[in-house]
Amino acid sequence: MENKKKGPDTYVLSTVLNKQRYEKKCVKSVVIIHLHYLEDIEWYFNYLRLIPSDLCDILVTFSDEKIKEALEKINQKSLSIQFIRKQNRGRDISSFLVAAKSMIEKYDYVCFLHDKKEKYEERYNDTLEWRKSLWENMIGSKEYIYNIIELFEEKPELGLLVPPIFVSDRFSAGYLDAWSNNFENTKQLCRMLGVGEELNINESPIAIGTVFWARVSALKKMMRYEWKYEDFPEEPLANDGTISHAIERVFPYVVQDAGYTSGWVMTDLYAADYIQILRNALSKSFGVLKEQYGISYICELDSFKVTLKQLLEFSKGYKHIYIYGAGEYGKDCLKLLTNSNIHIESFLVTDSTEQKEINGVEIKSINEVNLGKNDGIIIAANKENCKAIVGNIRKLGIESQYTIYNKIKF
């Protein structure tokens, strides 16, 4: 059976220049940065210093003159920075699509970044880490930027590179549905732009945050639309569901509609940290899933809803519910049903056992129980034992009163 590819292409690039691979290209690139907050402006400037002047122009948009003044004071003309003032509407999105739009078409590649500020104190440190992941994975070093451009040049089909969706203790978009409340408005935006890609609500978008490297020709439908500041809601911006939130997610679909591919890109250093973060998150998650619902494997998640619905529907038809099987399958089935408010009368086993109960539920031999028409049996056993249990139930003449707990079997 052919395995279907899931998720975007992932590129891990070195922060050290691959001299054997790199050849200087006659390409034009620009890094566009929107800065809105005075706080930590030196932190952002340290990243601007990493941008290779022989490869990239630097363009900074702002809506407050104090931003320009502060950055010029730090810069002391050491970097060639072009400034563009913008209206304080549309935030970073209008920076790219309105303020800087006329500049972009003369370049082959464009990188877009912006600052971040967290309004919730409990997520402050998480947001700092998110900000770092965005900037590191876009312009983490001069050599890394060379390697990104080289990747585009090697892969003419590649249109967009975005950082992996951030994962932390207080941000869930990296491992849950990144659509949030923005599926319908992103579909509407696709229609507005003339993008014909079919969106699937069950496939989470790969990009949020409006931070990326892109081949300018891949953004044609996004850039040819006559964007205006008035297209964006006035401040204060809602937390979700606006056109700005749709634009965050639409870039990969625009690129795909133009015939290009999209992918995640990250530094080799960040990739090592990201794997560990995901491993820890997966370990914690499956610890809870195992404890509460008896789920041990990722493949069980695909059928979990169907299995739970089957057992709940079956249980409605009987006054008493028994689990036939007191091994690991039976224990996992008990967790699932208990957490779904289904009372289990007892466990049933074929032969008597010294063990008398599991988590307060009595274990009985099936020969000790007088089963009637109000009694339903859920078989929870591996494939081999399941066949034997079905045989025993049929001998008792109650074969219409059982169902099977469809746990993954090996």
DSSP notation for 244-312: HHHHHHHHHHHHHHTT-EEEEEEEHHHHHHHHHHHHHHHHHHHHHHHHHH---SHHHHHHHHHHHHHHH
Per mean pLDDT, which range of 1-5, 162-166, 226-230, 232-236 is the poorest?
1-5
Distance CA(307)–CA(309), nearest Å, equals 5
232 exposed, middle or buried (CB, 10 Å; 0-12, 13-18, 19+)?
buried
The secondary structure element, H or E, covering residue 133 is helix 124-139
Average pLDDT, the chain: 90
Domains of the chain: 9-284 (3.90.550), 294-404 (3.40.50.20)
- pLDDT, residue 268, reads 95
The tens digit of pLDDT for each residue in 234-259 reads 888 888 889 999 999 999 999 999 99
Which strands sit side by side in the sheet containing 402-404, from one edge to the other?
357-358, 361-365, 346-349, 320-324, 375-379, 402-404
- pLDDT, residue 22, reads 52
Is the distance from CB of 93 to CB of 211 less than 8 angstroms?
Answer: no
**What is the dihedral angle through the alpha carbons of 190, 194, 197, 200, rounded to the nearest 10 degrees?**
20
Main-chain phi, psi angles of 323, to 5 degrees: -105, 120
The tens digit of pLDDT for each residue in 18-48 reads 655 556 667 899 999 999 999 899 999 999 9
As given in the structure block, the two tokens for residue 111 are: 């990188």
Query: In 3D, which of 329, 295, 301, 342 has the Cα closest to residue 405?
Result: 329
- pLDDT, residue 168, reads 84
- pLDDT, residue 18, reads 65
Give the burial string for 24-37 (b: 16+ CB within 10 Å, else e): eeeeebbbbbbbbe
Query: In 3D, which of 244, 171, 173, 168 has the Cα closest to residue 204?
Result: 173
User: DSSP letter string over 360-405?
Assistant: TEEEEEGGG----TTEEEEE-S-HHHHHHHHHHHHHTT-GGGEEE-
Can you state the percent helix, strand and coil of the chain, rounding each to 5?
45, 15, 40
Going by their DSSP bridges, the two strands 346-349 and 261-267 should be labelled as: unpaired
The tens digit of pLDDT for each residue in 79-133 reads 999 999 999 999 999 999 999 999 999 999 999 999 998 878 888 898 899 999 9
Angle at 62 between CA 247 and CA 240, to 5 degrees: 30
Q: How far is CA 84 from the centre of its chain?
A: 33
Name the residue with tokens 């059982």: 402
- pLDDT, residue 4, reads 45
Angle at 203 between CA 198 and CA 204, to 5 degrees: 115
The tens digit of pLDDT for each residue in 159-202 reads 999 999 888 888 777 777 889 899 999 999 999 999 998 899 98
The torsion region of residue 68 among left (phi > 0), alpha (psi -120 to 50) and beta comes to: alpha
Residues forming beta bridges with residue 320, ordered by sequence position: 375
| Mean pLDDT to the nearest integer, 208-232 | 96
Distance CA(340)–CA(175), nearest Å, equals 24
Res. 410: pLDDT tops 70? no
| Mean pLDDT to the nearest integer, 125-147 | 94
Q: Helical H runs in 166-242?
A: 183-193, 220-224
The tens digit of pLDDT for each residue in 331-376 reads 999 999 999 999 999 999 998 778 899 999 999 999 888 888 899 9
96 DSSP assignment: I
HSE, side-chain direction, 13 A CA sphere, residue 35: 29
Distance CA(83)–CA(181), nearest Å, equals 34
Angle between helix 124-139 and helix 268-293 axes, rounded to 10 deg = 140
The tens digit of pLDDT for each residue in 295-332 reads 888 888 888 889 999 999 999 999 999 999 999 999 99
